[in-house]
Amino acid sequence: MKLRSIGWPRELDSAQVRLSVGTSIIACLILLAVLAPFLSPYDPEETNPNERIQPPSLTHVFGTDHFGRDILSRVIFGSRISLVVGIISVGIALFTGIFLGSIAGYYRGKMDETIMRTMDALFAFPAILLAIALVAVLGPSITNAMMAIGVVYTPYFVRLVRGVVLSVRENDFIRAARALGESNIYIIFREVLPNCVAPILVQTTTFLAYAILMEAALSFLGLGTQPPTPSWGRMLSEARGFTEDAPWIAIFPGAAIMIAVLGFNSLGDGLRDILDPRYLGTGLSRLASIIPSLKSFLERSTLRRIGSSDEKLVREAVHQGQNLSKRRKPVVHSNAR
């Protein structure tokens, strides 16, 4: 389908490419992780002294390491660690962030001050440095690494959710809910948080990429996954002594990390552009005229954005492609890696 013919904005071309690239990579990664026992040709932990440091060949496509273990099998199984660590650690940060951020933003006052100053204290440390310090105290293990990454990323989610809640709580529909006598918990969960979904979704995707990188970095330093569990970062760490004679031991796990992170980064970027309010009212609304389910989604999201329950106004806004919100500044988390 030629999207331009239905008014698809040029700016969304690259977003569509990024979304496709990101989704494809992540789908492959998930498949790899789920089907690891069926896809890997060898046991990832099985050592074979007779086949130590073998270059890539038909028998061992990615070669073998200094214990004779098959690198392809270890790379395939390593995807499980990366995905699990990414999902659990970002999950910790996400739920803590939503809880603390909505309390801080909704209730304001002393609660807000206390939470945000604590988060400021955590922001004073570079992310990887704080994670290293936490794991150093808790002891090196994959569980502690996940907890450390979760704690380190929590302030980023708290700040995001608080910001969105602060802007949403001033809308008329929140005042209306209060006037109707709805409880604060109901208002937060049913009225406020659904409006925060888009920015949280974008940030979660981006932070999954950062979490995979940080797990790899911690494992590389010996603070994450412990041997013989196959993890990409750990494999790179073990490869350091063999860079000269067997570069393939380092090349493949590193490439796997890069591809996985690229997938999540691309998906995050694509989602950010697609969910940008400037385009929600233009290209997508035209596309919605063809896809009915997208149409109802847009109507719901527009209803939330304009904070009006007037159905006619909402339909008009969606169909005319009005620019209803100010442009969001791109969020940079350069310190979070």
Interacting residue ranges for other proteins, rule: CB under 8 A: 14, 124-129, 132-133, 136, 209, 213, 216-217, 220-223, 233, 236, 239-240, 243-244, 247, 250-251, 254-255, 257-259, 261-262, 265-266, 269, 330, 332, 334-337
CB of 125 vs other proteins, minimal distance in Å:
5
CB of 281 vs other proteins, minimal distance in Å:
19
Nearer of residues 107 and 125 to other proteins, judged by Cβ: 125
CB of 126 vs other proteins, minimal distance in Å:
3
CB of 144 vs other proteins, minimal distance in Å:
13
Nearer of residues 138 and 201 to other proteins, judged by Cβ: 138
Please provide the distance, in angstroms rounded to a whole number, between the alpha carbons at the two ends of the chain: 38
Q: What is the CA radius of gyration of the chain?
A: 23
CB of 314 vs other proteins, minimal distance in Å:
30
Count of alpha carbons within 13 angstroms of residue 201, beta-carbon side: 14
Distance CA 137, CA 180 (A): 50
CB of 129 vs other proteins, minimal distance in Å:
5
Nearer of residues 136 and 197 to other proteins, judged by Cβ: 136
